[in-house]
Amino acid sequence: MKKIALILGCAVIVIGGVVLASDHNDAPAVKGTANDITDLYVFAGQDTNNLVFVANTQGLIAPSATGAAHFDPNTMIEFKIDNNADNVEDLVIQAVDSANSIVFYGPVKPTLTGLRSKLETSARIGSVAVTSYTANSPTIETTPGGIKLFAGPRDDPFFFDLDQFHKILAGTATGFNNPGTDTFAGTNVMSVVIEVPKTMLNSSGKLGVWLTTSTKE
């Protein structure tokens, strides 16, 4: 069983309703690769007994390039969950590409914590075929335990007026416009989504969640 090393990207959030963090092409080491994290979202599902975890990677994909975009089988996407407020992951949910399907593992107590991870193969949940860009509807798998799985290209949901932000930094503007201009409109991301019953997360209060991508050692 191979260990996973080299944490390539991270976004940190704390659950308290709908929460998110974003980063688009800001990490030079992974810019333009399948390892580049853009967004992390965690929110209550339509069934409010569940939480939905969304990992978006490979930001700013043009529609003309989206059909060829793919997940990297040597990359593990990992949600790390702290359920006792000590800033150490108590549970992980892992996702790895295998033959154009994404295989999910967890939620499970990790063998390793911090800057090293190990694929928790004994905690396999199931898999879902990657939805193609030209599909009429998304492919969603539901496990016997009520976990829902999705993977594939999606329109980038993050709204940000980057040009106005640069003007603010340069001192040529004092604030954002209303309405602003969505810099990311018309671009896509590669998404991994899992909906999990809250009872599987071993917490009655807030959760700390962060997202990493790792490559094989």
The tens-digit pLDDT sequence of the chain (217 residues) is: 334 444 344 444 444 444 444 555 555 555 556 678 999 999 999 999 999 999 999 888 999 999 999 999 999 999 999 999 999 999 999 999 999 999 999 999 999 999 889 999 999 999 999 999 999 999 999 999 999 999 999 999 888 898 999 999 999 999 999 999 988 889 999 999 999 999 999 876 789 999 999 988 7
Q: What does the domain layout of the chain look like in residue ranges?
A: 3-158+191-216
Residue 153 to residue 146: CA distance in whole angstroms: 23
Can you give the pLDDT at residue 20?
45
Can you give the pLDDT at residue 30?
56
DSSP code string of 151-188 = EEEEE------HHHHHHHHHTS-SS--SS---TTTT-E
Can you give the pLDDT at residue 10?
43
pTM of the model: 0.85
Distance in angstroms between the alpha carbons of the first and the last residue of the chain: 11
Cβ atoms within 10 Å, residue 107: 25
**Beta carbons of 83 and 207 less than 8 angstroms apart:** yes
Residues 6+ apart with CB under 8 A from 165: 176
- The alpha carbons of the chain give a radius of gyration, in whole angstroms, of 17
